[in-house]
Amino acid sequence: MKKLSSVLIVVISMFSLCSANITGSYLNIGIPGRSVGMGEAYTAVNGDINSLFFNPSGIAGLEDHSFFMSRNIWFEGITQDSIGYAGNFGFGVLGVGIVMLDYGDDIPGYDALGNSIGNLEANNMVLNLNYANTCGPRFSYGVRYRMVKETLADETASASLLGFGLGYKLSESFQLGLDIENIGQEMKFIESGDQFPRTVKLGICYHHLFSYDHGLVASFDFNNDAYESFRGNLGLEYGFRNMYFIRTGYKINYDLYGLTFGAGVNFPILNRVKIAVDYAFQDMDIMGDTHRISIAFSPTHPAIIPIPEPEPVPEPEPEIIKAEPIPYFPEPYPEQFPESIFEEPEITVNDLIEKKSGSPEFKIMFKPDSFEIDEENSIGLDKLIKTIIEQPDKAILIEGHTDWKLSGDYNQRLSEQRADGVKEYFIRKGVPSDRIFTIGYGEMRPIATNETEEGRAKNRRVEVYLINVIREP
């Protein structure tokens, strides 16, 4: 077996940037552009495919399928390429990611006598297999299997590792994360073996939507590994309309790393697929600058209850109800509602959706990022309640909709809040709750283009249908 010279020892040291006695430190090289731009403070940031390469529980928040690819132009001609996929299959979220680090093929090699043996190759590959799921509304968990393969000249070595992750939602704004990595075999290369660095990370993330246009994500990670007694990561991200982002981060107590900067843009295609393009810049001191760019593809989220698309029906403009003075009832209408025929409900939302036809009885338009019913709409709803009183054999279907300006998850919640707000208004006025059925479609059923403000205003709506219900005797 030919022995590698000191030239290759330099290459070997690249595999262990922070310690010559521990292998696999390349596992800690940041991958996605978003996370690197935030200083790799990503243990508690969840809900996107970037978490595939961090805390394995982070992908539990995915509701659909996402694809990912990334290129890292590192120092001295070293490149890192990555691809990934994650999808929600009902029983949990499965993810697979492949990372390839290439040191090039122009490294000169020499034998023990100093004779040239030509150029040599050095590279490694990491395969990640993830599973994640939720347990209740606040808790998520994940497990990762990782297969690592190293190649130096004609020598190869491989090892299998396990990792575990937890996530806990403290509130709507705060999330905790715990990540434990690299439990398993040592890497035995040529004649010696080295352990992988056991890594424990604890993170906290704060996210807040200040308004329809402005949002902030702040995160901090505490790391305990084999290299230092303490390492920390700080990250910030500002988002405008959930489409344009700027980021910065700082890595505490790392030899080569300091400030990082990044930017990103999210944009939809044909209201079907959203593309996220992220870039990160990192100054590695004497080693030079590094650049990362990553691209992720994901479909827009469907409604929570999958409903087949109805046949298209030409929809006339809804009747404009003039704001005529009508009696206002601050309390429920006294004794005006007969006993409900829905005391033993057998009807579902799906039943009503299949039965509905034609235009809605009433439409309510909303301001951006709002589900409040204004005075003008309340006048129209009060008039509609009079019609409901006169037709006690009809069920009420309330459908909530949004435009597409914010994320699919946020829009879904907002559409449900709009529908629930109208339902609560009816109940306060005395309409029996068992006559009322609601559903939110998020951004998935626009009636106008989302490219203009006028079109988006038409899509921010609630539609109310009165539907005949036929009971078996």
Q: Does residue 85 register a pLDDT over 70? A: yes
pLDDT band at 243, cuts 50/70/90? confident
pLDDT of 113-136, one tens digit each? 667 776 777 788 999 999 999 998
CATH number reported for the structural domain that contains residue 233 in this entry:
2.40.160.60
Q: What's phi and psi for 269, nearest 5 deg?
A: -125, 115
SS3 81: strand
Among 299, 328, 358, which residue terminates a domain?
299
Range of the domain at 422: 301-473
The mean predicted confidence, pLDDT, of the chain is 80
**With b meaning 16 or more CB within 10 Å and e meaning fewer, what string describes 119-149?**
ebbbbbebbbebbbbbeeeeebbbebebebe
Tokens coding 319: 């009747």
Give, for 223, the enclosing helix (H) or strand (E). strand 214-224
Query: Do 276 and 314 reside in the same domain of the chain?
Result: no
- Label residue 38 exposed, middle or buried (CB < 10 Å: 0-12, 13-18, 19+): buried
pLDDT of 161-208, one tens digit each? 999 999 999 988 899 999 998 888 777 766 666 777 788 999 999 988
Query: Do 97 and 185 reside in the same domain of the chain?
Result: yes
pTM assigned to the model:
0.60
Residue in the block written with tokens 């696999």: 24
Residues contacting residue 337 through CB under 8 Å, at least 6 positions apart = 389, 392, 430, 431, 432
Query: Do 264 and 306 reside in the same domain of the chain?
Result: no
- CA 436 from centre of chain: 32
Query: Do 78 and 160 reside in the same domain of the chain?
Result: yes
Query: Do 340 and 245 reside in the same domain of the chain?
Result: no
Cα 138 to Cα 168: distance, rounded to the nearest angstrom: 6
Lowest mean pLDDT of 4-8, 104-108, 116-120, 360-364, name the range.
4-8
CATH number reported for the structural domain that contains residue 424 in this entry:
3.30.1330.60
pLDDT of 2-17, one tens digit each? 333 333 333 333 333 3
Query: Do 161 and 115 reside in the same domain of the chain?
Result: yes
Query: Do 348 and 397 reside in the same domain of the chain?
Result: yes
Lowest mean pLDDT of 65-79, 105-119, 183-197, 324-338, name the range.
324-338
Q: How many domains does the chain have?
A: 2
Query: Do 205 and 171 reside in the same domain of the chain?
Result: yes
Residue 1 lies in a domain: no
